[in-house]
Structure formats: C-alpha cells, structure tokens
Structure 1
C-alpha cells in the first residue's frame, strides 16, 4: 500500500488523483487531519485514516500496512516543523514502511538563506539516519506565479526585489511525477530534483508577459527594505514578508538556478512552461 499525508492539501491531493490513474484505489491510503475532508477519496475506495504529525500514535496507525509513505512537508511558520517531521519519519519506520518519500525543496543546501531550507536539510538528515530507504523530492518553486510576481496584470509592472533564475514549476506536473515514482518500479535513493527544464528571471518573465498580452510589462527592481515596508503596509504580516524576502535573496544568490531532466523523464513529456502558465492565467 502507498500512504500519502497531506492529501486534503494542494500537492498531496493532486498526487493522489494522479495515483488513482495508475494503481487500484484499495492500494492507496491517505493520512489526513480531518477525514471528512477526504470523503471524495473514500467514496472512490481509498483508505482514509486520521493522523497528524502532532500525534505520533495516530500517525503510526494511519501508516499501518504501508510499503511506501509520502510525507508532504509542513509549512506552519509557528511550529517546530523539524520535530513534527521527525514524528512522521519515526511513525513510518515503526509502521514498517520500506521506503519513505518526502517533499523537499530545490536548493536545500547549507548557506541557502530561504528560511524553509534549514527545515528540509534537517529533515533529510533525519531520513538518512532512519535506517529505511528514502527519497527526498526536491521540488522546484511551484506556488502560484502571482505569489512571486505580484499584481502585474493590473499594474503592468513586475515590481519585486532583485531576483535570479528560477525554474518555476507547475504543481500538477510535480504531483504527477511523484505519483509516477510511487506507482513505478524505479527507485530513487537520496535527494532528486524535480524542476522545470528552464530557469528564468523576472526580466525574462516580463518580456514573455509583454508578448502574450500585447502591452508593455515592465520589470522594476525594488530595494529590499522598501519592498518589505510596502508588504507590511498592505497587510502582510511582517514575519511572512521577511520569509518571502529570503526567497528572493536565495534566488539572486543562485540557489534555485539549477535545472534537471528528471521531471520531464518521469512525465514522458515536457513540463508546462512559464509562458504556458501565464497564457492560461491571462485567458481566465
């Protein structure tokens, strides 16, 4: 059996949807905080179990019978995520899982200023010490593009701090690739990158947006502190704004610049490009 955590969230839920196209539903389990929110999976034959990273006993029970467990990383900035991830790894080991897969982050290496990188580095170390086969899926940035570009469609300007090349990757593509790994017979040991094949800067995105819309989209580089003040002024909690600023700082330092072919190989096709994603967003 394959058990997926976080299956009521975006990445975990989409991964389960792709798994259902590849393996029988009774070979899939989900460990979720609120089983009622996973009723759509239960109705299709998926084993729905209650479990959270905060409750090791329930988590261990939710992993019962699993050969593989996919741990979707948590993102609560107020929680001890390393400790919670440790709970999840230990529960999977205790339940007898033969392989643990973990959704890590591209560029999770020492020296990366992006805050969550430290969490992923520590969690990968826990996996390495677990005594169980493990795979860290270092995913490229897969959040909504407007989250990092800002309201460019309204303003005609991408006004953000200095950036660097990033292989912005479609979340559904990553989820599909994870499902391929879980359902297939090709094992990956240690960390692997799942990224779009091309890394682009905001300047390049602005040009693409201009071509797609037929109107100028300007790239304006904001001073870090000015950008931070602007974010707080529009109601973004300062802690969250500072966290996002470390992402831009990591990008400009080149921590997200590398790309790889594995995502395309797993999908058997080219992943969606930034241009395709922008075009789809514009068309809505």
Structure 2
C-alpha cells in the first residue's frame, strides 16, 4: 500500500499534543508531519522519525509552505476567542493546505451545536468554528467555573448560570487527541470505506454533568464547601481571573464569551456521543478521575 502522509497543525497544546502522542504508535513516523509554533516542543517526535516544521497561524510566510507533501491534515482551531480574525485565519490555513496539495482535511471544532439537528449556537466562542465548518463544506473545565483554582480556594464560583441542567458531556482533551489519532489511522488505511468521510462527527464523554454536579465533584475533591452564585454576563467578564484569560490582541472578550452559559441552558453541550468510546475501545476517562489526577 502506498504511504499516506498525515499532518497535524498546530501539533502542540492539549488536542494537538494528544493527537501526536497517539498517532506515533498508530502510523509510520516517516509519514507524519507535525507543525507547531515552537518545533522544539516536538523533539521527541522528530527523534522517532516524524517530520517537524515551524509555522504560526499569524504568519503567512511560513504557513504558506507548512502543508507541502501532506495527504491528510488535522487542522486544530486558532487559539483565540475572536470571531472574524479567528475564522479568517482558519480559512487562510485551509486555502494554503489546498494549494499545497492536501487532499483531505479533518477539522477540530467545539462541542456546542453537537446535535445532528442543531448547527447553530448562541455561544460567541462557537461562531468561528461554525463559520469554518461551513467554509469546509463549500473547514477545559476551568473556563466554565470562573477559573476555579484548587490552590486558592474561594467560597463562591461566580458564573452566568445557576448550575442546573442541561449539562456538559465532559471529555479529557488528551482523549480527544487519541480519538482523532484513531480516526486518522482508519482513514489513512482505507480511504474508500471510511464511513465518516465528508461528515461532522462528535467526540465527547458519555456522561453528562450539570455545572452544579461539576462543582459538586470539585467540592468533593478539595474538601471545602463551594457554591455557585449566578451573575450577569458583564459581572462574569469583569472578574479579575476572567478578563486576562479572554484578552486577545488587547481586546477583552470575557463578557462576549459568557454567552457560552446561555448555550449550556439551551442544551448545546449536552449531546453525549458513543463514538469516542468506540474509537478508544473503552470508556473515556470520567470527569472526576481527570480532575483528581490534576489535583
């Protein structure tokens, strides 16, 4: 069988790093291309025989040639909360990939609008993902708990939500990487029989937790009572821990990002898919186990 070269960009961070880790034992290293802003973070992959390249979403000069000699590209979203700029960077990367001869693109989107009958979202953060998905058709827990820090405990978590259902089908980012690696392996081995070709698939946990149940698990692990206090989107965005985490190129998107809580209320993140379990051959790690290991 002819070799099939798989590329990952960006190939570091939570999803990218997890995908690299689980692709290396699944596909010949000589046919893997990992692209990152800091290639030194991928020295282990280069040592295993993979090709490592330097590229950054924000610099067209190196992005233009980053995707050469790649058959299938796994494109991971630009790290920002902006909408137009983020979607434009996705489109640019896709265009460069196509010009470079990339035949197939896997795109890592978010889990809002995860139901088959719902391709809209009220969440601000989801808009560039939906725009990118549309372009292709013609391409962590602390965010939702006001950056709860178990090393600096508080009595209240102030979020734009009361904690009730619908909930979230939590899943560990590394497991998303592993599931994606398995999808890429299956695709490369049998392009014609790949059943998810030209489809949007949902990788998620198999258990849905409300935000209250999520906080209850945190309380159990840190052994300190913590309650949810519902605040407005504006109050959420003004919190000292929130603004800096949602500031991109000098603009604070904290209040805009709080629209994710309305998306939760509408059940946009409550679709639990069995696909990741099938890809892994086991249940994805549950939320409590993941957070317990972090603590």
Same fold (TM > 0.5): yes
Equivalent-residue separation in structure 2 for 1:66 and 1:233 (angstroms): 38
Q: 1:120 aligns to what SS in structure 2?
A: helix
Report the structure, 1 or 2, having the larger strand content. 1
* Residue of structure 2 aligned with 1:181, choices 149, 173, 183: 183
Alpha-carbon spacing, 1:51–1:11, altered in 2? closer, same or farther (3 Å): same
Paired residues of 1:31 and 1:59 also in contact (CA < 8 A): no
Equivalent-residue separation in structure 2 for 1:115 and 1:196 (angstroms): 23
What residue in structure 1 maps to residue 143 of structure 2? 147
* Residue of structure 1 aligned with 2:259, choices 226, 246, 253: 246
What residue in structure 1 maps to residue 95 of structure 2? 90
Structure 1: gaps spanning 5 or more residues: 130-135, 137-142
Q: 1:194 aligns to what SS in structure 2?
A: coil
Alignment of 1:73-112 (within 5 A): 73-77=77-81, 80-108=85-113, 111-112=120-121
Q: Could you list the per-position Cα deviations for residues 81-119 of structure 1 after superposition, in whole angstroms to 9, with x for gaps in the alignment?
A: 222211211222222222101111112465422223221
Paired residues of 1:158 and 1:202 also in contact (CA < 8 A): no
Query: Aligned Cα RMSD in Å?
Result: 2.7
Equivalent-residue separation in structure 1 for 2:133 and 2:239 (angstroms): 35
TM-score by length of 1: 0.83
Equivalent-residue separation in structure 2 for 1:265 and 1:274 (angstroms): 18
Equivalent-residue separation in structure 2 for 1:6 and 1:277 (angstroms): 24
* Residue of structure 1 aligned with 2:171, choices 169, 177, 185: 169
Q: 2:183 aligns to what SS in structure 1?
A: helix
Paired residues of 1:110 and 1:118 also in contact (CA < 8 A): no
Paired residues of 2:10 and 2:35 also in contact (CA < 8 A): yes
Paired residues of 2:160 and 2:261 also in contact (CA < 8 A): yes
* Worse-superposed segment, 34-43 or 112-121: 34-43
Paired residues of 1:54 and 1:87 also in contact (CA < 8 A): no
Alignment of 1:1-284 (within 5 A): 1-56=5-60, 58-77=62-81, 80-108=85-113, 111-129=120-138, 143=140, 145-149=141-145, 150-151=147-148, 153=150, 154-162=153-161, 163=163, 164-184=166-186, 185=190, 186-188=194-196, 189-213=198-222, 215-231=224-240, 239-282=252-295
Paired residues of 1:161 and 1:222 also in contact (CA < 8 A): yes
Structure 2: gaps spanning 5 or more residues: none
Paired residues of 2:17 and 2:174 also in contact (CA < 8 A): no
Q: Could you list the per-position Cα deviations for residues 59-99 of structure 1 after superposition, in whole angstroms to 9, with x for gaps in the alignment?
A: 35322221111111102345712222112112222222221
Equivalent-residue separation in structure 2 for 1:229 and 1:38 (angstroms): 37
Equivalent-residue separation in structure 2 for 1:48 and 1:119 (angstroms): 27
1:158 CA displacement: 3.5
Q: 1:61 aligns to what SS in structure 2?
A: coil
Paired residue total: 269
